[in-house]
């Protein structure tokens, strides 16, 4: 049974694409056949984060318009088996996404035996974001520890539970909270909302907390999903989140300020 997951947030720049890339890669490395679709038509980024920008021939909109088959447009990842990327078009706008077109692509992926279809949503609550979430069974809501991001996530949660297909049919989309760019030092200093505050405001289950880390930027620039960087805290946190997503009980890490040891204090 294939599942459609939307990675969404409302607000821009919180780490949706980074998270989509990491989650899709993480699921595929568990041996699950995974497709990740970039819904940000006109501002495509996922191909860069995944390091496949030079391999894009056809895109999502070409497939919707019948100008290419899904097989032609899908890019197979070279590092991880079972991982396929469907890039967005850079030359079109969000109106190119039609409900029937998106549905037919998702249905074809389901028929193709994909376990997970990860939809990387654009920012905002307009057509692109709406199309990305409409067919979702589960939603990973990406939030930064600051009030505007939390409020936008709240708004997206409301839309998910009222306007998605599952909601229209009387069901409810399973919700997961992913807090990104978390800095325990700044939380302690009072500059950032704590995970507890965010969970209290949004009241949805916490999937993971990704600490602020330089390796995320590095990974983006080099076109390799950060989850593959097993030495970085962000990579480890994403791996934990995948385990939790698949039902394992993994304790949360990197949420508290690390106590510096005596030698670290001495030698920096």
Partner 1 sequence: MELKGEMSMLNVLHLQSTDLKEISQQIEAKRDEVPAFFLNSPVVVDCSSITDDLKKLDLKGLKACLTDLMFVPVGVRGIEPEQQAMVTKSGWPVLRAGPKKSTSKPSGKESSKPDESAKTDGDSEIQAQVSEEKATISRIIEKPVRSGQQVFVDEGDAVLLTHTSAGSEVMASGSVHVYGALRGRVLAGVHGDTNARIFCRSLDAELIAIAGRYQLLDEGDTDLRGKPAVIRLDGEKLIIEALE
C-alpha of 53 from chain center: 18
Listed in sequence order, the DSSP H helices in the chain are 16-29, 46-49, 60-64, 70-73, 99-111, 127-134, 147-163, 165-168, 184-188, 195-202, 214-222, 233-245, 262-267
Q: Which stretch binds partner 1 (CB under 8 A): 29-37, 127-135, 157-165, 216-224?
A: 157-165
Of residues 161, 183, 194, 215, which one binds partner 1 by CB under 8 A?
Answer: 161
Name the residue nearer to partner 1 (CB basis): 132 or 236. 132
Name the residue nearer to partner 1 (CB basis): 147 or 250. 147
The response to whether 18 counts as a known ligand-binding position is: yes
- Least CB distance to partner 1 at residue 74 (A): 35
Q: Name beta bridge partners: 182.
A: 211
Residue ranges in 163-182 that form contacts with partner 1 under rule CB under 8 A: 172
Distance between CA 238 and CA 126 in Å, rounded? 28
The response to whether 12 counts as a known ligand-binding position is: yes
The answer to whether 155 contacts partner 1 (rule: CB under 8 A) is: yes
The response to whether 15 counts as a known ligand-binding position is: yes
- Least CB distance to partner 1 at residue 266 (A): 44
Strands 138-143 and 3-8, sheet pairing: parallel
Name the residue nearer to partner 1 (CB basis): 152 or 212. 152
Name the residue nearer to partner 1 (CB basis): 150 or 237. 150
CA atoms within a 13 Å half-sphere pointing along the CA-CB vector of 124: 12
The answer to whether 91 contacts partner 1 (rule: CB under 8 A) is: no
């Amino acid at each position: 049974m294939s599942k459609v997951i939307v990675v969404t947030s409302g607000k821009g720049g919180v780490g949706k694409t980074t998270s989509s890339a990491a989650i899709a890669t993480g699921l595929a490395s568990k041996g699950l056949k995974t497709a990740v679709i970039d819904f940000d038509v006109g501002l495509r980024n996922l191909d860069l984060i995944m390091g496949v920008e030079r391999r894009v021939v056809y895109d999502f909109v070409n497939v919707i318009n019948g100008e290419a088959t899904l097989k032609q447009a899908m890019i197979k990842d070279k590092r991880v088996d079972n991982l396929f990327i469907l890039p967005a078009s850079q030359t079109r706008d969000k109106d190119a996404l039609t409900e029937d077109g998106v549905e037919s692509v998702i249905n074809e992926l389901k028929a193709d035996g994909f376990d997970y279809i990860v939809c990387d949503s654009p920012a905002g609550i307009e057509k692109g974001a709406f199309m990305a979430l409409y067919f979702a069974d589960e939603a990973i809501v990406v939030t930064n520890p600051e009030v505007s991001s939390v409020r936008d996530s709240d708004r997206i949660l409301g839309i998910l539970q009222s306007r998605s297909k599952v909601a229209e049919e009387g069901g409810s989309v399973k919700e997961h909270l992913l807090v990104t760019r978390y800095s325990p030092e700044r939380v302690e200093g009072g500059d950032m909302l704590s995970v507890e505050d965010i969970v209290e405001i949004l009241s949805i289950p916490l999937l993971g907390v990704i600490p602020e880390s330089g390796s995320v930027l590095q990974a983006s620039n080099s076109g390799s999903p950060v989850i593959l960087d097993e030495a970085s805290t962000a990579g480890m946190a994403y791996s934990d989140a995948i385990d939790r997503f698949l039902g394992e009980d993994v304790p949360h890490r990197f949420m508290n300020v690390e106590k510096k040891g005596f030698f670290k204090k001495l030698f920096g």
